[in-house]
Structure 1
Amino acid sequence: MDNGILKMKHDADSWSSSEVRSIVHKHMWSIRGFSQLECRYLETSAKIKDIAALPTNQPSSSGGLPELPDVTFRIRLHPQGNKESNKDFTFFQCFTTQANNSAPSTFKAKFKFSVFNQRSEETPTTVYSGTQQLHGYFEYIRREVLMSHVQPTDELHLCLNITVTFDTVTKTSQNIRSVPPELPMPIEVTKDLENLFRSGKHADFTLVVEGRELKAHKAILSARSPVFAAMMEPHTSESQNSRVVMDDMDYDVVQSLLYYIYTGTCPNMGANALDILAAADRYSLPGLKNLAEVAMRSGLAVDTVCKHLAHADLFNMTDFKKEAIKFICMNANAVISSEGFINLTKKHPCLIADIMSTLVNERHNSPSYFTRDGSLEPSSKRARMTETNL
């Protein structure tokens, strides 16, 4: 449960919680030699057992959920309808019987029949919605369509999905405030570590960048980065001297790197996103790498996209690479005249080939179901679920 909800629950003098208990059951029925059926109907059953034993998040005030009886659903197949007027149709029927009539329970059930042949191909059925009063839930299909569907093996596979929802259970309780619980406060840990980094108190390691020093703690560096952990092994010169010189990195980038190590955040990403990305990859900090990618995505522009694409390719950022190429294709006229594209052509010809391939494929495979603004037309499908009150 969220810490905020826990706190509100603790602050309340009393509280209630309600739980809707439900279960989903799937029953599969296979019928071989379907075309030879000449009976009025064929019947089987599906029993949902041990309803009271289902796991719950909130027990009742008595210490457990009220017992619920087993529920048995009877399933019938009417191969030639249920009377002369509909003999050209096959009907599928489901209705319920309770095993323990002395302890009735109110519940609702939803049903859905699916008809498959031996090749696992489904054929659509229709929910009965006529005015004639029938017992239970019905779906039907024209018999000649069904006969054709199950050939040549003459084997029908009927799948019934049952969703049963039982009475809602509500629990009411009073809070006892004599010993209030201590709630976890992760933000306090982050703030304390930030203060430790800014103050440099008890620091036992120094990072030298552009002639300037940054203080840090070996234990925290090792815990957060496997690269720093290897650096802190006793046999290394960095560990023995408690000092490392980083002469190939910018001071602001290393400072952002350390700030992330201590706090898990990087508020000063800014224009340093590409350099921070490289530093995150170098010191195996995937969280910081993700933050840099977010900043790069939001900063995609005609004059930056080519440079971002090169970095995405270098650091195996597959999704972002596709997004950058798509941006270039959508803004091709402006991008190809930019200085970034000229540099990309000289230094990364393989990426130019990827861009051209994407352009060709998009023009060749442009689907007719796209709207003018490039979005997909949503497809609609009528649900064939009907709720039956039992």
Structure 2
Amino acid sequence: MNPSRAGPSSVQGVAGSQAPSPVNRALSLRSDDATSPQPRKLEVVSKQATKVTALSTKLEWKIDQFEKLMKLFKNGQNLISRQFGVPQAPTVCWELHVYPNGKRDEDTNNVSFFLRQVGLQRGEEPIMTEFQIYALDANGTRVSVCRDTKDFTNQQGRGKFQVSREKMTTALRMDGSLMLICEVEYFSPGVRISVEPADDEDATMEDEETKIETNIRENNKRMLDSELFTDCVIKVGAKQIKAHRCILGQHSPVFRSMFNNDTMIEAQNGIIDISDFKYEAVRALVEFMYTGGTDALETSNGGIIEEILAIADKYEVLALKDCCERLIANTITLKNITSIAVFADTYSASYLKQAVTRYLSLHDKVIIGTPEWKVLKKDRQGLVTELLEEVVLGRDDSHRSSSSEGSSGDLPGSSGLFSQSHSRASPVRKRARRAPPK
């Protein structure tokens, strides 16, 4: 081979094998990266949900001739709303207190407001609460009194919020009345907030559960009314109610005991004779066991509600008894407090007895001078002693709470003869079988 021809060819071959320039190298790297496989990620998602349900209750309170009350009420005299709350937390009850001419001397010419918690028992954990109080004027426009978030303990009032007379005058309606609104939100006492696995259908789950519960109640009511597949009869005089043993036994330990005992007539022939209560009360009891409610409780007839409480006590349908206690507590007055106290004691109605105690603590100077109280003192000395002891203990707790909170924990005294109040306590049941009211 001729070396002279081979040289240039060899040199050219060597040059063609030289390393690429920096620009070419960068292009080469990008090309290699684009075509090389990417590492795959292993992603694990843990879905969780924290379900929290806040309770909400609202008071609408119309106070007639409020402009006159601001002028005629003495400093320190107050108005107290009836208790309000929600059935889901029966031991938590609220009262709104209004002093048309101020709570203390320095509050004169102002209207004092504060919210009071009256249901929790001594020693229970405080509940954090968000609340707002406002009035609706003649045009339906809100006139704000306050909005705050505080924690409440047993028998504790939080305030006091001062509003000038001039501002309250602008909030009055055309007839001179004041329409007060109090909205309260809180968590049920003892609620436990936990993290649970999330459900993709959480957004609609609560609505679906509500619909299902409503359908069950409606179906149960139709089943009762149509007497479909009934297997027992409740006789009340000449009237009768056909029912189902499984429903009665599920909601009443007394009925359950009847049907489980083969030696009892009720278990043998399925006939239950009730002669110590009126038909209306028996019907209300049965309706409540089927549907969780009864129209009879919406009546203004206090006598029938007392009889429903009595039959609920006898057959141990405690949820119905509790509803009756709350309704009766809202009817306490200076005239009937002694008779309600006896009634509450007769049927071991602890909620109702606490309401009596609370009302007595606010009006003791008037009540202990009435003929009815003197008769009660003579006939039921033990009951009188118990009520007065509870009043004293309640005032001691209120004093300690007020001292620890300062002005923000202001509590009303017992001076307001214009006041009415109803309290509740947790359900501590002392079993006592009593005769129904005549």
| TM-score interval for Structure 1 and Structure 2 normalised by the shorter chain | 0.3 to 0.5
Larger of the two Rg values belongs to structure: 2
TM-score normalised by structure 1 residue count: 0.45
Q: Given the two structures, how large is their TM-score scaled by the length of structure 2?
A: 0.41
